[in-house]
Amino acid sequence: MIRAAFPGTFDPITFGHEALVARASGLFDEIIVAVAAGVHKQTIFSLDERLRMTAKSLPQNNVSVESFDGLLADFLRARECRIILRGLRAVSDFEFESQFAHINKTLDGNIETLFLPPSNEYIHLSSTMVREVAMLGGDVAKFVSVHVAKALLEKIAPCR
Ligand code: ADP
C-alpha cells in the first residue's frame, strides 16, 4: 500500500494540479491532496473554499483532500505517509523545491520527495497567474474548471 501526499496552497486549483494528480493517481494506491491552511501565505480563497473546490475538481476514487496546519512532516507521520509529490515546472521552481525536499528529509529521514514534470500544456500555469488574469478581467476558462472560474469571478467582482 503506497500512499503519497501532494501538498500545496491550491489558491485555486488549476488544470496543472488536476493533470498532475490524475497521473499520480495511476502510480500510487492512494493520494492525499494536502491543502495548506495558509498561515504562511495570504490567500484569496478561504481554507474551506480551497478544500471544497479542490475536492470537486478531483474525482479519482483513490484521491482524498485534507487540510493541514503546521509542519508537513508531522501531517505525513500522522497519516503514515512517507512520499511527498511535487510538480517541478521550471528552473525557477528548483531552488525552493530542493530546499523544501531537503528540510523535510532533515525533519524526518523516512520522507522522500518525488517530482513529476508538469504536462506540457500546463508547464507555465500557476495559481498566481490565474488570479492575476482573473483580476484583470481575463478569461480563465483555459486554466481552471468551470466551477473554479465561477468562484474566481464571484471573489473578485467586489474588488473591481
Ligand atoms: P505551493 O504554494 O506549495 O507552491 P501550489 O498550490 O502553488 O502550492 O502548488 C502545489 C503543487 O502543485 C506544487 O508542487 C507545484 O509545483 C504544483 N503545481 C502547480 N502548478 C502546476 C502545474 N501547472 N503543473 C504541474 N504542477 C503544478
What is the residue-wise DSSP string for 92-129? Answer: HHHHHHHHHHHHHHHH-TT-EEEEEPPPGGGTT--HHH
Summarize pLDDT for 52-90 with one digit per residue, the tens: 999 999 999 999 999 999 999 999 999 999 999 999 988
Per DSSP bridges, beta strands 30-36 and 63-68 are parallel
Q: Is the CB of 54 under 6 A from ligand 1?
A: no
Q: Is the distance from CB of 122 to CB of 15 less than 8 angstroms? A: yes
* 41 flagged as catalytic: yes
Inform me whether the pLDDT recorded for 159 exceeds 70: no
Is 155 a catalytic site residue? Answer: no
Place of cell 473591481: 160
Nearest residue (by CA) to ligand 1, atom 16, is: 87
Closest ligand 1 atom to residue 6 Cα is 11
C-alpha 73/C-alpha 104 separation (Å) is 6
Query: 130: CA distance to ligand 1 center in Å?
Result: 12
Q: Is residue 92 very low, low, confident or very high in pLDDT (cuts 50, 70, 90)?
A: confident
Q: Is the CB of 12 under 6 A from ligand 1?
A: no
